Amino acid sequence: MFLTGFKSDMTGGKALALEAHCRAQGRAFLRFDYTGHGQSSGVFEEGSIGAWAADAVTALDELAVGEQVLVGSSMGGWIMLLTALARKSRIRGLLGLAAAPDFTRDLMWNTFTEDQRQQLDRDGHVDLPNDYDDQEPYRISKPLIDDGWNQLLLDDPIELGIPVRLIHGLLDKDVPWKTALRIQEQLTSDDVEVQLVKNGGHRLSEPNDLDRMTRTLDALLAGLP
């Protein structure tokens, strides 16, 4: 089950590569769009981490059968952890790709200028530059920031005892690679491995990145009891 990143959708390179890989192995695979993303209804600016995590839990409950491995990219890595905590009996393993738990606090609120914080309170949103695909600026809403405080994970132990694999690029300009080390420190599982990719950026979507992703997934699946 693939969990996409912030303002991404289920037609991205990683999602499609995983689907093709699972099909070739005869494995079931699920990809979907959160509310306000891709083909789903709703307004992106009205969304929040909690709401999108609820979407993931609903997809797990309604569309997936049996135990699952979750693969989460960037924000999807946060959603992945929240989903696993909400449905511990259903999740066998996790694979995070540039996973970004707590980013609304650590990478947004904590880096906002005083003017940006005042704009958020005054206007209900603040616009941030978007370096990908020449898109419009990211409009960050007050509900996103406010709800993020209720979903934080890295300040306390993350009570999961399942195998977890984390891949993070050392050249990631959006989510610091040390985030992967923070995640593994907080996870209570003893079976956690971190791969740091010397020339890897945030997207991890180059052919070699996709190969690494599927190899890591295969090894994770092979090691499950």
- Return the CATH number at 187: 3.40.50.1820
Residue 123 lies in a domain: no
Residue 172 designated active-site? yes
For residue 30, what are the domain limits? 2-102+156-222
* Total domains in the fold of the chain: 1
| Model confidence, pTM | 0.95
Residue 150 domain-assigned? no
Q: Which of 55, 147, 172, 209 is catalytic?
A: 172
Could you read off the pLDDT of 195-221 as tens digits, one per residue? 999 999 999 999 999 999 999 999 999
Is residue 65 a part of any domain in this protein?
Answer: yes
Q: Is 21 a catalytic residue?
A: no
Residue with tokens 């890591």: 216
pLDDT value at residue 8: 87
pLDDT value at residue 132: 67
Q: Is residue 119 part of a domain?
A: no
- Cα-based angle 38, 76, 10 (whole degrees, multiple of 5): 30
Give me the catalytic one of 8, 106, 202, 209.
202
Confidence of residue 225 (pLDDT cuts 50, 70, 90): confident
Helix (H, G, I), strand (E, B) or coil at 195: strand
- The dihedrals phi and psi of 122, each to the nearest 5 degrees, come to -75, -45
Domain assignment present for residue 109? The answer is no
Amino acid identity of 85?
A: L
The amino acid at residue 24 is A
Question: Of the listed 74, 141, 168, 209, which one is catalytic?
Answer: 74
Is residue 139 in some structural domain?
no
Q: Which amino acid is at 165?
A: R
**Residue 37 designated active-site:** no
Residue-wise pLDDT for 4-60, tens only, equals 999 889 999 999 999 999 999 999 999 999 987 878 877 788 899 999 999 999 999
CB 105 within 8 A of CB 148: yes
Residue 124 maps to a domain? no
The answer to whether residue 88 sits within a structural domain is yes
